[in-house]
Structure 1
């Protein structure tokens, strides 16, 4: 309970009501480093919830799932379900289930070999530090999927980012334009493509849908999100 009315007096009153010789909340040592897990650390056999080959994981949801995705030891099914867990759109989730099922037979990490080479070259160009910028990496993943689009966009990858304000792609196809819009959305937080658009088979084809889903996972977890394993390690 406060007895003063204005904001300044309340701040003084809050300080006076504090416990003597104790640091206020929010003070203390600031840890600037970030511990990074490795694939070896995320081996399910080391987990207390691992029940062996027959029982597998004993909990409904892996307690280390986010760490396993980040280091690239989760399955595509796990990655996609975790990434899209908050999306309740029935049409989108129906397409997502189809994508997951098809990818169990033929994984779709890259559209083709040219996409893989262009993306890896783009990563080499930005360097190790900028690879931690998941929004940047996700946008590059989509822009490099189309050869013509990437030829126009590559010159605007500068100063540790992408100058979308200067980029004006020309002669975009029905396939490449959604890639450009999704890349811009994931990088800038704009809303050129909606969940309704992604759920529409006629507007977004299957391969483009898969690439955008992969990019959404990269935006959330980094490059480990597209380093799928064949099966969950349980």
Structure 2
């Protein structure tokens, strides 16, 4: 899987073990919410065993990439469409690493943990 950094990988792996058997939607949202430490601190008390009370998370004092992760998690959980695909594909707005993190979340949502675990970045990325 492609994580934002080592801390993201450790936190997500720890949390996903606690939520074994959860839906692909839950897994993808959890992946995004654990991508940023500050975002996770805002979100963790709103995470149930198999559900996320995304509407109760108040995204305060987040950098732009953490806010994108929150907005995408909200879109996944609620079915809203607040983040435009064109924005995600704009290299001026998003680093390649964050783009790959978001792509990993989309693979988690569509195909599950097993498929996402096969993703890796060449040139020194996490696997």
TM-score, shorter chain, exceeding 0.5: yes
1:148-199 CA-partner distances (Å, limit 9, x unpaired): 1111101100152100111112101012111111111122211111111112
Question: Looking at CA atoms only, which structure, 1 or 2, has the larger radius of gyration?
Answer: 1
Q: Does 1:196 align with 2:86?
A: yes
Q: What RMSD over aligned residues (CA atoms) do the two structures have, in Å?
A: 1.7
Which structure 2 residues correspond to residues 75-224 of structure 1 after superposition, within 5 A?
A: 109-126=2-19, 128-130=20-22, 133-224=23-114
Q: Is the 8 A contact 2:8 2:34 kept in 1?
A: yes
Equivalenced residues, count: 120
- 1:229 is displaced (CA, Å) by 6.9
Higher-helix-fraction structure? 2
Q: Secondary structure at the match of 1:158?
A: coil
- 1:129 is displaced (CA, Å) by 2.4
Q: Please give the alpha-carbon distance, in whole angstroms, between the structure 2 residues aligned to 1:134 and 1:214.
A: 12
Name the residue aligned to 2:123.
Answer: none
Seen in structure 2, the aligned counterparts of structure 1 residues 229 and 113 have a Cα distance that, compared at 3 Å, is closer
Identify unmatched segments of 5+ residues in structure 2: 121-127
Seen in structure 2, the aligned counterparts of structure 1 residues 166 and 224 have a Cα distance that, compared at 3 Å, is same
Q: Please give the alpha-carbon distance, in whole angstroms, between the structure 2 residues aligned to 1:184 and 1:205.
A: 21
Q: Secondary structure at the match of 1:165?
A: helix
Q: Secondary structure at the match of 2:63?
A: coil
1:92-115 CA-partner distances (Å, limit 9, x unpaired): xxxxxxxxxxxxxxxx61122111
Q: Secondary structure at the match of 1:212?
A: helix
Identify unmatched segments of 5+ residues in structure 1: 1-107
Seen in structure 2, the aligned counterparts of structure 1 residues 198 and 229 have a Cα distance that, compared at 3 Å, is closer
1 or 2 for the larger relative contact order (CA 8 Å, sep ≥6)? 2
